[in-house]
Structure 1
Amino acid sequence: MRADDLILFSQVVEMGSFSKVAEANSLTNSVVSKRIARLEEELGVQLLYRTTRKLTLTEAGKALTHGAKNVKQATLEAMDAVSGFGENISGHIKMSVPCISGDLILADAVAEFCNMHPGLTVDMSLNNRFVDLIEGGYDLVIRTGYLEDSSLIARHILDSQWVVCASPTYIARNSKPARPEDLVNHNCLQYAYQTTGASEWEFKGEKGNYIVGVSGTFNTDNATALRKAALGGHGIAYVPRCLVYHDLRNGQLVDLFPEQVGKRLGVYAVYPFTRQPPNKVKLLIEHIRTRYLAISHYF
């Protein structure tokens, strides 16, 4: 069974006429008739009752209509998703991204995209606060966290897993906590950029996730500063894994609870509500998504 025959059948059902479908597709009536007949032959059922005045669906035709419409819709969406890829992209994009993602991948990815499209300029702000897209005039924002604003459209990119980690120096000096509850007896470095609270660390339990309230001497809203404090052996940090991926790999930091940390946040490309974003924004989102997925193991 050919998908294009299903799409043609869906058009016949919608338009109610072979001639109208033929005209819409620059075909002859006989070609449309032959393709519907081919579909009926392949399925082994009659789909339409044909009279000189009208076409009527058989029971089998009614059963096939929904699936045929889905094939047509999927085809249209697939074509829409890549529309503009062959066009020259120009103009300006104003965007905001989180500091960690900006340092890790987005600065390089966005600059690369600009070089691919010489007529395009991008103003990228690294900002951990949730900016107001409309008020700030942003075309695109990359956000990590929970999304509540229904006036925005979000494209999920991937999920970011958090880890609890410390340096071997800190562990040697203070011992390694055996379970999350032991963290109350340790110096916990707190990351202020958290919607759930810097001192509320989430873990997995048998009856669902639970919170351990921690405390410590150092609190910062800068992820790089938090990482350096952990590397210096000054305490235990609760951070996105992508921030310390290489430190964990080379042994400069130790993942204390590799299977127990409950915090996992989505990374989203967010833009103002519209039926379709401009092609330049749509293509930039796809470029960013591809670059994220290429290093998905970091997350």
Structure 2
Amino acid sequence: MKADDLILFSQVADLGSFSKVAEVNNLTNSVVSKRIARLEQDVGTQLLYRTTRKLTLTEAGKALNNSAKNVKQAAQEALDSVSGFGESISGRIKMSVPCISGDLVLADAVAEFCTWYPELNIDMSLDNRFVDLVDGGFDLVIRTGYLEDSSLIARHILDSQWLVCASPSYLSRNGRPLQPQDLTGHNCLQYAYQTTGASDWEFKGFSGNYIVKVSGNFSTDNAIALRKAAIGGHGIAYVPRCLVYHDLGNGQLIDIFPDLVGKRLGIYAVYPFTRQPTKKVKMLIEHIRTRYLEIKHYFK
């Protein structure tokens, strides 16, 4: 049994005519008839009742058509996934990416993509805000967070785990908190980004996640500034693991509650529902996803 015969049979079932199927596929009626006859021979039973006026599925034909539709859909999805990939890549892509990911992986990944396709121009802005894709004219946005806008389509890339950390010098001066509730007695450096509450730190509990309300004398929407303040011993920070991955490895920062932090945000490639991604955007998304996955251990 050949997959293309199943797809042809599904078309016959949908269109109800050999001649219509022949026209769609640029075949002759006799070729369509012979291939359906071959399929019937392969399965060992009659699939269609043929009259001069119409074609009707037999019980066996109805059963086979359910599976044939899946084959047809899978084949179409496979073609769609690489549609236009052999064509030249040129023009312009306007995109927005979060600051941490931009510094960590996307600046290099996007510049590399431009090197591969010199006729392509990419305008990439680094912004933690949830920009308006349609009004802003963006072709692609990389977002970290919770997606609630139904007018957007998102491709999940990976999840980003957060942690609570501080420098050895801060902990030696102020003591190490033994449980999340102890943070209320410490100077907590606050990351004021997007719409997430900078002072609401989420932790895992036996009956579900809970929030500890913290306070401190330093707040910033810049991740690099927050990291430097933590390394400098000025307080405790609640940040994505990827931001301080190397600092944890070299001992400049210490992960205080390794298994208790409840914040884990998805990283997505997002584009408007009303605008199907072009081949160049599809290719860029795949390239970005590959580069993220190469360093996925930074985010766990």
Same fold (TM over 0.5): yes
Per-residue CA deviation, residues 97-154 of structure 1 (Å, 9 max, x unaligned), is 1110110011111111111111111111111122222222222211111222333322
1:257 and 2:257 aligned = yes
Per-residue CA deviation, residues 257-285 of structure 1 (Å, 9 max, x unaligned), is 22221111111222223252222222222
Deviation at 1:194, TM superposition (A): 4.6
Per-residue CA deviation, residues 145-196 of structure 1 (Å, 9 max, x unaligned), is 1222333322222211111112222222222222211211222111011523
- Residue aligning to 1:197: 197
Aligned sequence identity (%): 80
Higher mean C-alpha deviation, range 60-69 or range 232-241 = 60-69
Aligned-partner Cα distance in 2 for 1:239–1:155: 23
**Aligned AA for 1:223?**
A
- Residue aligning to 1:296: 296
**Aligned AA for 1:54?**
K
Distance 1:14 1:108, change over 3 A: same
Query: TM-score, length-normalised on structure 2?
Result: 0.92
Once superposed, what is the RMSD of the aligned Cα atoms?
2.0
- Residue aligning to 2:151: 151
Aligned-partner Cα distance in 2 for 1:45–1:205: 60
- Residue aligning to 1:86: 86
Q: How does 1:100-179 map to 2 (within 5 A)?
A: 100-179=100-179
Deviation at 1:50, TM superposition (A): 2.9
Aligned-partner Cα distance in 1 for 2:133–2:185: 42
- Residue aligning to 1:280: 280
- Residue aligning to 2:49: 49
Aligned-partner Cα distance in 2 for 1:247–1:133: 34
The alignment covers a number of residue pairs equal to: 299
Per-residue CA deviation, residues 63-122 of structure 1 (Å, 9 max, x unaligned), is 222322122122112211211211111111221111101100111111111111111111
Higher mean C-alpha deviation, range 71-80 or range 98-107 = 71-80
Aligned-partner Cα distance in 2 for 1:256–1:132: 36
Deviation at 1:241, TM superposition (A): 1.0
1:98 and 2:94 aligned = no
SS at structure 2 position matched to 1:106: helix
1:183 and 2:192 aligned = no
- Residue aligning to 2:3: 3
Distance 1:121 1:194, change over 3 A: closer
Deviation at 1:220, TM superposition (A): 0.9
**Aligned AA for 2:228?**
K
Higher mean C-alpha deviation, range 41-50 or range 157-166 = 41-50
Structure 2 spans left out of the alignment, 5+ residues: none
Aligned-partner Cα distance in 2 for 1:41–1:170: 79
Aligned-partner Cα distance in 1 for 2:192–2:205: 25
